[in-house]
Amino acid sequence: MSTWFPTGDLVRIDGDRVHFVARKTDIINVGGNKVFPMDVERVLREVSGVADVRVYPAPSSLVGEVVAADVVAAPTEAQQEVQRQLTAHCVQRLQPF
């Protein structure tokens, strides 16, 4: 059984192999403001206790897209504490949009 996720990656299927070619776009448009997911991922990874991060656009009826992130806390870290640190760190390091 295959499971597919809408990642925005462009792929080429060659037989039973999937080759990742590129990402459809590397920019998230938040109400006309351009956000680079890699920049947001870099900032999120600066927080102690973050094991992995994926940043992607989520649809918004108000501004077109918003920045969404899936964050995995390290197994030794309390998830709520990592979330608190992420929020505080993002307020300091990222633009409000």
17: pLDDT confidence band, cut at 50, 70 and 90?
Answer: confident
Domain map (residue ranges) of the chain: 26-93
Question: What pTM did the predictor assign?
Answer: 0.72
pLDDT at 19: 78
Gap between the Cα atoms of 88 and 81, Å rounded:
11
Count of Cβ atoms closer than 10 Å to residue 16 Cβ: 5
* pLDDT tens, position by position, 22-79: 666 688 999 999 999 999 999 999 999 999 999 999 999 999 999 999 999 999 989 9
CATH homologous superfamily of 26-93: ANL, C-terminal domain (3.30.300.30)
